[in-house]
Amino acid sequence: MKVAVLDDWSGTARQMADWSNAGDVTFFGEPIPAVALPQKLAPFDAICLMRERTAVTADLIAALPNLKLIVTTGPRNASIDIKAAQARGITVCGTQSRKTTTSELTLGMILTQCRGLVAESARIEAGGFQGPPGRDLADLRVGLVGLGNVGQQVATLAKAFGSTVSAWSPNLTQDRAAAAGVGYAQALTELAAQSDVLSIHMVMAEATRDLIGRAALAALPRGAIVVNTSRAGLLDRAALFDWLADDPTAQAAIDVFEAEPLAPDDPWRKARTRFGTRLLLTPHLGYATEATWRLFYTQTVEAIGAYRAGSPIRVIEG
């Protein structure tokens, strides 16, 4: 079986699992342009995906006559046309995922911006020393847009630092907020108005696109911090840039982007140059930990073996 492992951007997939019995495996470290995918992937019987980095559309599936198996890291992948795969008789399998990585990164980004760690490190490198004092997490008002699994984990971690946590989402109730031990806001602008940090933890859908826009940003107190470790489309990028320009004390920390990896001329790179350390950018590290990679790729290999043995596991249905 010829196997393609796509989007191994960190060049570590080979070391994260034992691929020796998976077949004839080829690792692709660089993103493959969509127009080149049919030619590049035509020889392969199985393709292994890293989350939603490469879209497997109906057109691509139709262009791959040898394809029999798709394995995605994680239990679901909105970038795969499951129905088109099923119509071709192609099996789609997933892996489990770990639940703590994104919340840990979120707290790290909040702490980094509150204490000015990037700016202070740069000050040392430039020959200087201590700059203006940072902010405590104790008594910091953290507003969570979304109180699902990740949102609740962020709430637990923030409260451990002594922060006051409140939440809002379109479907959140006061009882659910109380059960999670956080305050309840009746509207997004109400949450923003009472938050020193606004952290986004929603599922991306058309109904939530640009959910954090000009109205929510305008409601934030001066010097607030906006954090997005969820999905890029939830935050209106142009509105964020205008907000940062209007308030020279405002900050943001962003881990997710409209197009990944970032192109050299991406607006986010230009904004980082414009706003300096007030805009912290990280390369989608929310789920990028060694333990997660080992789980993803070990179970990818397991899925390939199970398929070859005639008993597919963790099959994703359309």
Per the CB < 8 A criterion, the answer to whether 165 and 183 are in contact is yes
Mapped onto helix, strand or coil, the DSSP state of residue 191 is: helix
Please give the helix or strand (H or E) that residue 57 lies within, else none.
Answer: none
User: Is residue 317 domain-resident?
Assistant: no
Beta carbons within 10 angstroms of residue 8's beta carbon = 19
Nearest to 108 by CA among 150, 157, 47: 157
Do residue 145 and residue 265 come from a single domain?
A: yes
Q: What is the pLDDT of residues 164-181, one digit of tens each?
A: 999 999 999 999 999 999
Looking at the chain, the number of H-run helices and the number of E-run strands are: 12, 12
Q: Decide: 71 and 49 in contact? Cβ < 8 Å.
A: yes
Q: Check if the beta carbon of residue 84 is closer than 8 Å to that of residue 137.
A: no
Q: Dihedrals φ, ψ of 213, to 5°?
A: -120, -155
Q: For residue 168, is it left (φ>0), alpha (ψ between -120 and 50) or beta?
A: beta
Q: What is the mean pLDDT of residues 91-109?
A: 96
Mean pLDDT of 217-246: 98
User: Taking residues 5-17, what's their average pLDDT?
Assistant: 97
Same domain flag for 181 and 275: yes
Q: Are residues 298 and 255 in the same domain?
A: no
**Confidence (pLDDT) at 81:** 97
Mean pLDDT of 244-269: 97
Sheet (strand 225-228) strand order: 183-184, 164-168, 141-145, 197-200, 225-228, 251-254, 279-281
Considering the domain architecture, whether residues 23 and 91 belong to the same structural domain is answered as yes
> Is there a single domain that holds both residue 247 and residue 174?
yes
The pLDDT value given to residue 99: 87
Q: Is the pLDDT of residue 46 over 90?
A: yes
Domain of 147, CATH number, reads 3.40.50.720
- For the chain, the domain total comes to 2
138 φ/ψ angles, rounded to the nearest 5 degrees: -60, 130
The predicted model gives 278-284 an average pLDDT of 98
Owning domain of residue 31: 2-98+289-308
- Residue 181 has φ and ψ, to the nearest 5°, of 75, 30
Please give the pLDDT value at position 309: 97
Closest Cα to residue 81, out of 57, 60, 63, 59? 57
pLDDT for the residue numbered 79: 93
How many CB atoms lie under 10 A from the CB of residue 242?
A: 14
Digit-coded pLDDT (tens) for 111-165? 999 999 999 999 999 999 999 999 999 999 999 999 999 999 999 999 999 999 9
- 127 and 266 co-located in one domain: yes
Q: Where are the alpha helices (DSSP H) in the chain?
A: 37-41, 58-62, 82-87, 101-115, 117-125, 149-160, 174-179, 188-193, 214-219, 237-246, 267-275, 290-308
Is 107 a member of any domain? Answer: yes
Same domain membership, residue 249 and residue 144: yes
Same-domain check for residues 58 and 114? no
Residues 11, 179: Cα–Cα separation, whole Å = 42
Q: Tell me the pairing of strands 183-184 and 197-200.
A: unpaired
Q: Does 130 lie in the same domain as 109?
A: yes
The pLDDT tens digits of the residues spanning 73-96 come to 999 999 999 999 999 999 999 999
Provide the pLDDT for residue 318: 80
Beta carbons within 8 Å of 12's beta carbon, 6+ residues apart: 293
User: What pLDDT does residue 136 have?
Assistant: 97
Does a structural domain hold residue 313?
no
Q: Is the peptide bond before 261 cis (omega within 30 degrees of 0)?
A: yes
> Do 28 and 66 sit in the same domain of this protein?
yes
Residues 277-286, mean pLDDT to the nearest whole number:
97
Record the pTM. 0.94
